Structure 1
Amino acid sequence: MVAQLVRLKLTLLANAFRRSVWQTIGLVVASLYGLAVLVLVVVAAVAGGTLDAATTGQVLTVVGGLVILGWWVVPIFAFGVDATLDPQRFVTFAIPRRRLLAGLAAAGVVSVPGAVTALAALGVSFAWWREPLALLAALVGAVLAVALCVVGSRATTTALAPLLDSRRYREVLMVVAVVPIVLIGPAFGWIAENVEKSVDGASVQVSVDGGSGAALGDAVGPLARLVAWTPFGAPWALPSAVHDGAWGLLVARLAVAVATLALVWLVWDRALARALVTPRGGAAAGAGKGLGWFSRLPATPTGAVAARCATYWVRDPRYAASIAIIPLLPVMMLVVGLTSGAGGSLMLVVAPLVAWLLGFGISNDVGYDSTAFALHVATGVPGRADRWGRVLPVLVVGLPLTVAFALVGCGVADRWDALPAMLGVSCGTLATSLGISSVVSARLVYPVPKPGESPFKTPQGATVATMVAQMAAMGIIFVLSIPTLGLALPAILLPQPALGWAALAVGAAAGTIVLVVGVRWGARVLDRRRPELLQQVMAFR
């Protein structure tokens, strides 16, 4: 059964190369990028182990702990539950649950991230090539680390997936998700500050000791010893214990890693057992009153599309991610600014980020429509009405919100002289993002969770396709924003108030032009590709 599931996963991965050209390009780019990172990491680890094995082991413990933590946390809030081998698809086959668990765990390595992590874990183990016993412990730790990555990721996503069917739990998790993001900046700032202090304090001894490894070891050592006692760092710290001759410490760290693996396996087992007998999905039927936005907007094609899209933004949990993070952006920037010494000046970045998030939020609206897009095709909704209907709700709400964030940012940073430039950049970014998104959503459609499904679920092929589409759209938005940025940055940094007013005029004019041209272009593309878009959307079912 394990071999059968692995072959099935390989077949699905191979079929991704035949589904579309964009997925093939994305998989090739992701594979080449992963291979480059893999070679760089392994070469650096082996070279560091040759020069100073003890310090290299400490660095690998910290970095390896972050890798396992990332495997556990990132899929929940970024990519979601891997749906290529959805366990609920195997309900009617009556496969014993433990065999299914083992097969899904082995198949979890069959992916670009899984393969890169496994090869990197085995490759960095050869940093201990000079000590056979330490190398053996490193290889054992690498196997445990990869198992913790895969099983822990499956356990967290499977266990939390049912909670997302409740809107209240979804909102709480969205807030909780941002807490680690807020702490990333201060954590890295604290680490960098302590490393700098340690290096400066040890600089006098470097000439005596004959190398800089001691300074780095003094900086990373305390953190590595702490991480080594956590489930995330314990498997990576096994060879360090062998190197130091601390056999009791080796047994303790091995026990932590094995016990954690057994615990997450048990959690995954219980969560999978519940998932196999408790179907998820299906939107809850609510007791709606009235027609909502449909009774408030004009009874025209544009008004109908705008009413439906406004309902999406208010009630569809799949849009919750881009909305939930907006109120927390000022908090994140303020915390990062205070801990990094930049102060309130980072608040100036909030308004452009909010504008970009809101504008880019409709870049895959056709994909989020799912089978409802068939109504647009059957009724012959004009492309221009479709495009403006999707843009107007975001523009009506996003423009005052962007202006408000620009005012708050300038007030907190005490840079009222930068207000014209900030308004130009922010409003220009909002209009430009909406214009580009109007074209992108009519040209590039990628899989998204279906209506009623968990928003953390990732359909087959969605990760790579999403990455390609978003990178292309972000690149175009940045290029079109260069004229405004070329005026706004000198106006803010020098400062030059005259350039700020020029940036406001250029940003408003350029954004309006891009918005109008983008909507018209997207409308023509939509009218021409309507059958192909419907075919793509139906293929995602």
Structure 2
Amino acid sequence: MAVGLTVATGDTLVRMRLAALRHSLRDQNKVSWIASGAFVGLVLAGGTVWLAVRGDHDVVAVAIAVWMLGWVVGPLFAGGGDETLKPEYFTMLPLPPRALSGGLLAAAMAGVAPVVSLLALLSLAVVGAQLSVVAVLVSVPALLLQLLCFVLASRLAVAIYGVLLQIRSGAVLAALVNAFILAFTAQGWALIAAYITTDVQGAMAQAARIAPSGWGLVAVEAAGRGDWLRVLLALAGLLLLAAVMFVAWSALLVRRTTATRSGVQPRRPLTASDARGAAAGKELRSWTRDLLYGHRAVFAIAYGVFFCLMPIAVGWKGMLPWAGAASVVMAGAMFANLYGADGTAYWSTLMVPGSSRFDIRARQRAFLLVFGPPALLITVLFTWWSGTDTWPVVLSVVPALLGGAAGLVVLASVYAAVPTTDAHKRSGNPLNSGENEGEAMGLVYVMLVLISLTAVPALVVALPAGWWGVPVGLATGVLAWWGFGRLAVARLDARGPELLTLLRHGRTTGDQASVTSLSAKMQLLPKWQRHLAGACLGFGAIPLFPQAVVPAVFKLNDNPAKVWFLALYAPGPWQWPIIVAMACLGLGMYGYGASVYYRASKLKLPAVDSPDADPPGEGAMQPAS
């Protein structure tokens, strides 16, 4: 009976999941994201199979471990993963926890990511084909069980992460783990280079086989040797691991859908005597009591530290002085949607006449108070540790970035607010903040670039003139803090009710039309132009920043490190021409992508007759008789 109910539930939820996927394909933005992710996944899956074809089983073990790691940590950076079917939707149905968990697991298997991972796991079948026919037969249950463990590990990780974010120490721990993983995606080349140039490859391969991600490969290799005891142990281990993770996930789903939130007694009432003090007290309480605020703050600071620490693995300390600056840039990007995070709580501010200026300035002061001291302390300590003579440059850049971030954060929050789930309506998965995750991530990427640009004046002066860049950086930071804040106040005074409507109801039909009209106009252009423009905007930063700006800074500071910068490996006379060429290439890519979108915006959409339109000559309303 229980098995039949689980199968029926799974069938229904799978059909619901596939129907939701079909409907999502009507959104061109989602189609682009899905297509891009599928393409990258297929390339990586093909690379994994190619490693198996080469017969390098040690590298295959490490590659499969990386796949499982991606399943565990990927959803933590993608809004809690795909939760089209949230467990909260089914709380009123008389379903046992195991039946609901089994149905949700079956629905999770119906997607693009599991199919791509299954293709990557075909590398086990390739390894088996190189050993024996029996090994090929063993590879079939091995890769299916491995895929099941991938999906269950992903779901369990998200569930555990949601529990951690409900306690302060757990939120800090999760932030540190996420920061390290994201920094590894950007600076992992240093650790990989250290791995390749040392004798730890064998140890890594052995560790990958011992980990659950390697048990399928162990079973296939053991079948090729005729070691049936190890085959049974490996397959039984995968099956037992899947069962344990399923039971644990089911228990956490029960906790998520049945836990009650008890009221919290205020520890200390607000005792401000004026509007400025009240706004400051309210904002500081948001930073100290909202665990998502604390999580993101720790993440931003830890990311800057990890990002600049990893190159030490290859003996390069040149990134250490920039840890504080990297933390500030990431912090500004993470908090670029303050009013969107507030949601309908903004109503209490809007109803107080003249409160916009106090609220904006309070948010700016809180941002500087939270990130200013850590950024300056990290900058001083790491610059001293690096032993480089970069004091004028970093002490010029950090104040400019702090002021620029404090100004741009509030400006973006009022001009480009993204509606998210209200704090009191958050589900058991705090990572999932609504249906606008893609728009929120786009805002983060834009802010990374804009905040970095605020340091350009200080950098231009500090590189040739040394300490003269410090007053320029201070002036730039103060002007950005004051000017952008003033613009945000004016916008909030003029469009406060519209902002509240957006946060409460989401985008109206007119807003959605303005957002999607550009996408519709882009469809009028040839497909190759659309794809080329997207590629240029997505990858233009690679030649511009790491291959032009950074090596130029190295050249001006006589830094002998070459690392992975192409220009620094060329003969001396050719280094500056290559740097200039890379800068022109990056700017050209951005320029071409922007020009394509600009030309598309000037196009006119063809008129479409609505089937619901009134017949010619007839009004929408007829006079009453």
Normalised TM-score (structure 1): 0.78
What residue is the counterpart of 1:468 in the other structure? Answer: 442
Higher relative contact order (CA 8 A, sep 6+): 1
Counterpart pick for 1:43 among 31, 46, 64: 46
Aligned pairs for 1:50-69 within 5 A: 50=53, 52=54, 54-55=55-56, 57-69=57-69
Aligned pairs for 1:143-292 within 5 A: 143-159=144-160, 161-162=162-163, 164-171=165-172, 174=175, 192-197=193-198, 220-243=201-224, 246-279=227-260, 281=261, 284-291=263-270
The reply on whether 1:362 has 2:328 as its aligned counterpart is no
Alpha-carbon displacement from aligned partner over 1:16-69 (angstroms, at most 9, x marks no partner)? 577xx8xx52x234223212212322333444444x2x20x4323212112223
Counterpart pick for 2:11 among 3, 20, 25: 3
What residue is the counterpart of 2:398 in the other structure? Answer: 426
Q: Call closer, same or farther: CA 1:170–1:43 in 2, change over 3 Å.
A: closer
What residue is the counterpart of 2:501 in the other structure? Answer: 535
Alpha-carbon displacement from aligned partner over 1:437-456 (angstroms, at most 9, x marks no partner)? 22321213142572485674
Contact persistence 1:449–1:458 (CA under 8 A) = no
Q: Partners of 1:277 and 1:192 in 2: how far apart?
A: 48
Q: Partners of 1:228 and 1:114 in 2: how far apart?
A: 22
Q: Call closer, same or farther: CA 1:59–1:109 in 2, change over 3 Å.
A: same
Counterpart pick for 1:312 among 265, 286, 293: 286
Q: Partners of 2:456 and 2:420 in 1: how far apart?
A: 31
Q: Call closer, same or farther: CA 1:157–1:427 in 2, change over 3 Å.
A: same
Counterpart pick for 2:275 among 299, 302, 323: 299
Alpha-carbon displacement from aligned partner over 1:264-306 (angstroms, at most 9, x marks no partner)? 1121223333444333x46x412423315x45xx425xx5433
Q: Call closer, same or farther: CA 1:162–1:40 in 2, change over 3 Å.
A: closer
Q: Call closer, same or farther: CA 1:392–1:108 in 2, change over 3 Å.
A: same
Q: Partners of 1:61 and 1:257 in 2: how far apart?
A: 15
> Which amino acid in structure 1 is aligned with residue 87 of structure 2?
P
Contact persistence 1:129–1:135 (CA under 8 A) = yes
Q: Partners of 1:527 and 1:389 in 2: how far apart?
A: 16
Contact persistence 2:51–2:59 (CA under 8 A) = no
> Which amino acid in structure 2 is aligned with residue 260 of structure 1?
L
Shift, 1:161, TM fit: 3.4
Shift, 1:104, TM fit: 0.7
Q: Call closer, same or farther: CA 1:517–1:65 in 2, change over 3 Å.
A: same
Higher helix share: 1
Aligned pairs for 1:366-515 within 5 A: 366-379=339-352, 381=354, 383-415=356-388, 417-442=389-414, 443-447=416-420, 450-451=423-424, 453=426, 456-486=430-460, 491=463, 498-515=464-481
Q: Partners of 1:367 and 1:17 in 2: how far apart?
A: 26
Q: Partners of 2:434 and 2:472 in 1: how far apart?
A: 42
Q: Call closer, same or farther: CA 1:235–1:536 in 2, change over 3 Å.
A: farther
Q: Call closer, same or farther: CA 1:185–1:225 in 2, change over 3 Å.
A: farther
SS in structure 1 opposite 2:69? Answer: helix
Alpha-carbon displacement from aligned partner over 1:83-122 (angstroms, at most 9, x marks no partner)? 5433233221111322211111122245564554345445
What residue is the counterpart of 1:205 in the other structure? Answer: none
> Which amino acid in structure 1 is aligned with residue 46 of structure 2?
V
Q: Partners of 1:114 and 1:522 in 2: how far apart?
A: 44
Q: Call closer, same or farther: CA 1:480–1:237 in 2, change over 3 Å.
A: farther
Q: Partners of 2:80 and 2:466 in 1: how far apart?
A: 42
Shift, 1:252, TM fit: 2.8
Contact persistence 1:410–1:418 (CA under 8 A) = yes
Alpha-carbon displacement from aligned partner over 1:465-515 (angstroms, at most 9, x marks no partner)? 332221122123334444444555xx4xxxxxx533243344334334443
Aligned pairs for 1:95-110 within 5 A: 95-110=95-110
Aligned residue pair count? 496
Aligned pairs for 1:329-340 within 5 A: 332=306, 336=310, 338-340=312-314
Note the residue ranges of structure 2 that are not aligned, 5 or more in a row.
Answer: 1-8, 507-625
Q: Call closer, same or farther: CA 1:316–1:332 in 2, change over 3 Å.
A: same
Q: Partners of 2:440 and 2:338 in 1: how far apart?
A: 13
Q: Partners of 1:253 and 1:124 in 2: how far apart?
A: 14
Shift, 1:330, TM fit: 8.1
Q: Partners of 2:482 and 2:205 in 1: how far apart?
A: 55
Contact persistence 2:20–2:84 (CA under 8 A) = yes
Shift, 1:421, TM fit: 1.1
Query: Which deviates more from structure 2 when the two are superposed, residues 101-110 or residues 528-537?
Result: 528-537
Provide the alpha-carbon RMSD of the alignment: 3.8
Identity across the alignment (%):
23
Normalised TM-score (structure 2): 0.68
The reply on whether 1:87 has 2:93 as its aligned counterpart is no
Q: Call closer, same or farther: CA 1:402–1:185 in 2, change over 3 Å.
A: closer
Q: Partners of 1:435 and 1:310 in 2: how far apart?
A: 17
Q: Partners of 1:472 and 1:313 in 2: how far apart?
A: 23
SS in structure 2 opposite 1:290? Answer: coil
> Which amino acid in structure 2 is aligned with residue 148 of structure 1?
C
Query: Which deviates more from structure 2 when the two are superposed, residues 75-84 or residues 259-268?
Result: 75-84
Q: Call closer, same or farther: CA 1:484–1:133 in 2, change over 3 Å.
A: farther
